[in-house]
Amino acid sequence: MDTDLPSTRPYLIRALHEWCTDGGFTPYIVVAVDERVQVPREFVRDGQIVLNVSFDATSGLRLGNDVVEFKARFGGVPRDVVVPVDHVIAIYARENGQGMAFPAPQPASADTPSQRLQVVASDEAREPTDTPADAPAETAHDGGDGDGHPARGGKRPTLTRIK
């Protein structure tokens, strides 16, 4: 494999976003969240967040080769969102679940002793959550009113893989 070639991921994300928009569907992305991702942490569940990236739900949407960035309202509060493209692990249409999944990003390696210490310290500082492990995950934008309220019917979208 030639390492000089750019990743196809940003091109596929843009193409599927355009396909969703042209078809009247709502494009959603699933993001693997770590320290490099700038999203409202209160909406992260199990290390992931699902974001509505339609033009109606975002302002200043930029689907670049390195990052996906936009402004959106979460619970009525405007927030900046910055997601490295390699952290987008799926893009799909909310209405029918059709889309594409990508490999999860490689975790950042802790190469120096101080980096390893920071990782251990941050893990120890985490507070336990009140949410049971088998509780359904919530999404920041689930097709509702833009304030985190679910769409009518409350049905959560699903991703369907097409081979």
| pLDDT per residue as tens digits for the range 102-144 | 999 887 654 444 344 344 333 434 333 333 333 333 334 444 4
Q: How confident is the model at residue 162 (pLDDT cuts 50, 70, 90)?
A: low
Query: For the domain that residue 71 is a member of, what is the CATH number?
Result: 2.30.30.220
Residue 70 lies in a domain: yes
125-143 b/e with 16+ CB inside 10 Å = b?
A: eeeeeeeeeeeeebbbbbb
Any idea which of 24-28, 59-63, 96-100, 112-116 has the lowest mean pLDDT? 112-116
pTM as predicted: 0.66
Q: How far is CA 113 from CA 34, 58, 82, in A?
A: 20, 40, 28
Find out whether 78 and 71 touch, Cβ atoms under 8 Å.
yes
Range of the domain at 52: 27-101
Q: Is 37 a member of any domain?
A: yes
Would 144 be classed as within a structural domain? no
Query: Within a domain: residue 142?
Result: no
CA distance 135 to 149: 17
Residue 1 confidence (pLDDT): 55
Whether 54 maps to a domain, the answer reads yes
Is 61 domain-assigned?
Answer: yes
The whole-number pLDDT of residue 161 equals 62
Choice between 5 and 79, residue whose per-residue pLDDT is larger: 79
